[in-house]
Amino acid sequence: MTVPTLSVGTRIAENRDDGRGTLVGYLPVGFPDLGTSIDAAIALAENGVGALELGLPYSDPVMDGLAIQKATETALRNGFRTRDVFTAVEAVRARVDIPVLVMTYWNPVVQYGLDAFADALVDAGGAGLITPDITPDSAADWIATSDRTGLDRVFLAAPSSTDERLATTVATSRGFVYAVSTMGITGARATVDAAARTLVGRLRDAGAENVCVGIGISSGEQVAEVLGYADGAIVGAALVTALAEGGVAGVAAKAAELASGIDAARLGS
């Protein structure tokens, strides 16, 4: 069954027109098992998360912090296969009206076959890919394939990026630009670095329409802070930890707490 694709850029624009920012939630597919990971993703959508990142477990997660590493190791140990990500995307899109991006390191896509991967994602109703370990100038094949399929392509921008690099990233990204709020690996932090606000401003100057900030966000208060200057707040490690410790009910409760920041940001605007 083919599920209609829903662009994350469209959803962010709809929320912005309604005076709201977008909460983006990350969970790895297959943790603690495939069925539970699907239920957990749906629970996010039902508790205020406006767009999903479903992570494709990978054996060498160079960007991920400990909580996500442990979760993806569990998924791989329990038999995760790349095709499971398409099963998960289709199952989520069949039950909730929410854009679903796949966050993946590039090697699994190459091993699967870029065109085959993209076509399977379109058939499942996926919105596109977030690719943390490739840059626009090394992504010619992906750019061509995403143009053919209409999939969103989300590249990362860091505080250390030059103005020239940011301009290239903005021009090449579709859906949103992923602004990395701190240098280093993912994980919840007590404060979201002020560098994020500066980076978002630089991306706006480079012409970015949609910018979402990720890495280090773990509370509703931080979501509200980020949505004061960005279009979206991305949360990963805090949700993975909630799922590990409290199951689907735990991650649903954490999503609702994070989503309280959306209304707080609107009230503060």
To the query of whether residue 231 is one of the catalytic residues in this protein, the response is no
To the query of whether residue 64 is one of the catalytic residues in this protein, the response is yes
Return d(Cα 151, Cα 132) in angstroms, integer: 16
Choice among 17, 60, 64, 84 that is catalytic? 64
Choice among 14, 33, 39, 53 that is catalytic? 53
- Please identify every residue annotated as catalytic: 53, 64
